[in-house]
Structures are given as structure tokens and as C-alpha cells.
Structure 1
């Protein structure tokens, strides 16, 4: 099946992998069976790879709802996206919905439309929630944000329906439980913070501590024993390099565009860890 180049991330996402794709592409196994991505985020690698058979997952239920709606209810989503207004007052009304009881009455389509709208019009294209799980990014004040990118949404819809793609919303450990020998798993967890202030784990309520990084390493070990191909990206901290010292580690340089401090956007070292 020919790759559809229009299928690409429909959201901007902290830790998105678009800049890292040239490096990731160097390390794709020549042959694999099912592709697993337990921290799919905006799906840059998924849409670049376009595997025929995949299981994609994220702990963020609002994000996974977007994937399901694009797959199953695209026409309704497009219609709903057309009704949004570009103004600060309207933005904050939509943003505040998750603080109100009527949020639970929104349909899956309305929820997906809300997330896409907020993502396209908020400051610097962040998805971030506070400790109560409420969206808390300020308005971006852009002149002409593209809230509805019908071409991309349609291409993503076609990809999700033309291939065998399972969309899941659970813990990363659960989602790879059935992975078998010859399957390819790509882990892109929330990164180990390079400094105390750089921790960006605001897109899921529970954060991702070093204990979680260690739990991920033990899942990596189990998949390795099963004969899966396992690839992981993370920040190039001493903690991560020590954790995975028994595996192949490649240091790569990635551009980081999402940071409220412009000086901190730019090249940072990351690691790619693999068992092959």
C-alpha cells in the first residue's frame, strides 16, 4: 500500500517527534509484524511509518477520543470544527467547559472538536492540564489559526480505516502484554527531566516519575526476552543512560520547538535505545 504523505499529526504536542523522524527512520527494523506505540501522542512516527497493522495507545483519554472520532465520525467532526470562533472570550468559554458539569454531556465529537480547537488557538500549541485534569493553557492570539485542516483529517481518517489499527486508552504496560516475537514496539514516554524546571509532564494527571521510568525499563526487558524489536527515545540524562546501559544507545540531536522560553528552544541531546 502506497504511503499517504498527507497523513500527519493533527495536533501539536509537547515532545512531538517530527524533528526526530530522520534519526528514527535509520533504526526501523527491516521486517516486523505488529507495530505498537504505547505513548502515541500526536503520532508523528506512526504517520511516517504507516504500518499495515498497529496498536496505538495513550493514557490521555481526550487525545484517544480524537483518534476514535477521526476514525469513526469524521464528517460530524468537520461540521463541528466549522462552528468555532476565533476570539479570546470564545476561547476561554470553550476552555472552561471541563470545569463545569455539562462537560460530561458533550458528545465524543464535541469533545474532540474542543481539543482540536484549543490546540490550534492556544499559546504555542500546547496540550496541558492542571492537577484537576483541567485544560489550562492561555489564549494564543494568532491572526489566522487553521482550526480545520480537512485535508490532514481526511488523510488520517483514511489511514486509520485502511490499515488494521487498534486504538487503546490504558497503561503502557497493559497495552504491550500481548506483543509477540517479531513485533516492533516504539516507546516515547514523557522524558526524564534534564533539569528540575524542565519537567513537562503536564499532559497526564499522574506525571511520569523515575519509578515509572524504572517500570518502563522492566517492560522493555520483558519484551526483549520475548524476541520483540524495542526502540525507546528519552532525554540524554545520566539516569536514563545508566538505566539502559545493557542495550544499544545512540545519542541524537533533536530540535525542540515547544518551550515558553524561546532561548530553550533549539537542539538538545536525546537517546535512542534499542535491543537490536
Structure 2
């Protein structure tokens, strides 16, 4: 069992983290010690911010998310100030939001163009904090399409960004598919996977966190990779919704159930309820 490094959970600077404190508390008990924690679905980074490993290898298929992490890690205060300039009252209007979203989408692939990655990363932080529910969503053409959130006040996550800079000194961020990252795992590494969850209902079927989505076939491949790594001496832990199909998918693993509060439903009509999430542990053999 690890120890959480802070008495209170540290929040990510990005808003899209769905990891509940109950889930992180369970992970604290279930994740074994190791040399390095590998997260193929790092997302906003809630796990690495709250669990203490000597090293972290953190990946995600969302290039913009990784770019924002890399910019903040490398440039610290300068990048924080670049983001702060966008968090002004005149930018908290639908007209300005969609103007800045259009600017962001005009450089949809900064990795193969003359676009400024610094500006794109700052815009990504702005869009995340001003979109509805902190939604990170793309259409099939790779354009960010989350609508404006209509909040009276927008919180600028300065403290969270500074904390991220400190915690990321022992971390490496890479843009990679989960397959590529899991292939790098070695004995004494620990792998934690928080993939896009299997939907509980048709209206909650949201997987467009990055262009291309995440299919049931991807979930099957992920489970197969977890079993293969366990046979090679690497413990793999996966979180997901608890459904009969998911329990069958993770056959052979230790199954732990956590009850968490969630907003269930469509983007504009959500209902708060408690749902069961599943943590599957494939122990190193």
C-alpha cells in the first residue's frame, strides 16, 4: 500500500478529471509500490498528483492535453502568465469563446504546421475552463467542439498549476497510444489505466475525448495487454464502470467495487446519482 502524499487530494489544473476521491483512496490501497508508475490514460493527472512513486511515465492519445502538460512542466511561471492573460472577464462571453475556439481550431494540427504550440496550449487551458462542464471534445475532423459553459465566474487554477510544476519534476509526458506505452512496462513498474469508461446508458455514450473515440474492441485489447503484462511480472490496474459486460471483460482479475457520485445523462440534462465503479487488479505473476 502506498501513502497519499497529501492529507487532502490535490486537484489538477484541468477540469475534466472524473476520478473521485473514493477511487483515489481505493487506488492508494490497491496499487503496489514500484520503481515507476505508468499511466497510458493520464488525462488531467489526478492520480500522479496524489500518489507517490519515484518516477512517472504519463501518456495520452490527446495531443493537446499532453502539449499543455509539457508546456507547464517546461516553462512554469511563464506559461501560467500566458494562460492568465486569457482568463479575463471580456473573454467570458459566448462571442469571445467561439472566436478563441475558432483560433484554436485554425491550427488543428500544430505538430505538422507553423502553428505556435505555446499559444495553442494556453488556448486549450482556456477552452477547458470555459466550456460546459469542463468538456474536452472533438468532432471527427479533430476540431474542438465543446460549447460555451455560461458560468458567471471562471476560476483560474494558479495554485493547481504551480503544484503541478513541482510534482512533474519526476514525470515524463508523452503523446502515445496505450499499446505503445504499455509495451514499455518492465518488472517493478506499475501500470494504472483509466480509459474512457463503458457507458451506463445510451445518453452517456461519450468517447470523443480525442478524435477516433474508444471502442469496445479497444477495451478488449486493453484487457489482453493487462493479462500479458501480469504474466511478465507487471501489476496492471484498470478502472471502469461496473456492468456485467465489464466484469466479464476483466475475468481473472481481482474485482473491487467503489460507489461514487456521478452526473448521468446528456450534455445539457444531467442527473446526480451514485454509481458503482469497478477497479480490476491484474496482479504480477
State TM-score, norm by structure 2: 0.88
Deviates more, 1:61-70 or 1:179-188: 179-188
- The separation in 2 between residues aligned to 1:122 and 1:250, in whole angstroms, is 33
- The separation in 2 between residues aligned to 1:18 and 1:72, in whole angstroms, is 28
2:138 aligned with 1:129: yes
- The separation in 2 between residues aligned to 1:204 and 1:44, in whole angstroms, is 19
Match of 1:8 among 11, 23, 27: 11
Query: After the TM superposition, which residues 41-120 of structure 1 pair with which residues of structure 2 at under 5 Å, given as runs?
Result: 41-84=43-86, 85-100=91-106, 104=110, 105-120=114-129
Q: Is the 8 A contact 1:7 1:156 kept in 2?
A: no
The Cα offsets for residues 23-47 of structure 1, whole Å up to 9 and x where unpaired, read as: 2222121x21211000011111111
Distance change (3 Å), C-alpha of 1:176 and 1:56: same
Deviates more, 1:252-261 or 1:57-66: 252-261
Deviates more, 1:213-222 or 1:262-271: 262-271
- The separation in 2 between residues aligned to 1:140 and 1:3, in whole angstroms, is 33
Q: Secondary structure at the match of 1:264?
A: strand
- The separation in 1 between residues aligned to 2:129 and 2:70, in whole angstroms, is 19
2:237 aligned with 1:193: no
Q: Secondary structure at the match of 2:28?
A: helix
Q: Is the 8 A contact 1:14 1:127 kept in 2?
A: no
- The separation in 1 between residues aligned to 2:150 and 2:82, in whole angstroms, is 21
State TM-score, norm by structure 1: 0.90
- The separation in 2 between residues aligned to 1:78 and 1:157, in whole angstroms, is 10
Distance change (3 Å), C-alpha of 1:170 and 1:17: farther
Deviates more, 1:248-257 or 1:214-223: 248-257
Calculate the aligned-residue CA RMSD, in Å: 2.3
Question: Which residue matches 1:144?
Answer: 153
Q: Is the 8 A contact 1:19 1:255 kept in 2?
A: no
Q: Is the 8 A contact 2:204 2:264 kept in 1?
A: no
Question: What are the ranges of 5 or more consecutive residues in structure 1 without an aligned counterpart?
Answer: none
2:228 aligned with 1:222: yes
Q: Which has the higher contact order (CA 8 A, sep 6+)?
A: 1
Question: What are the ranges of 5 or more consecutive residues in structure 2 without an aligned counterpart?
Answer: none
- The separation in 2 between residues aligned to 1:111 and 1:50, in whole angstroms, is 30
Distance change (3 Å), C-alpha of 1:190 and 1:264: same
Distance change (3 Å), C-alpha of 1:55 and 1:80: same
Distance change (3 Å), C-alpha of 1:82 and 1:74: same
Distance change (3 Å), C-alpha of 1:208 and 1:9: same
- The separation in 1 between residues aligned to 2:108 and 2:268, in whole angstroms, is 35
Q: Is the 8 A contact 2:107 2:115 kept in 1?
A: no
Question: Which residue matches 2:41?
Answer: 39
The runs of 4+ residues in structure 1 deviating greater than 4 Å are: 4-7, 101-105
The Cα offsets for residues 236-270 of structure 1, whole Å up to 9 and x where unpaired, read as: 12211111121111122122247535553321111
Count of matched residue positions in the alignment of Structure 1 and Structure 2: 272
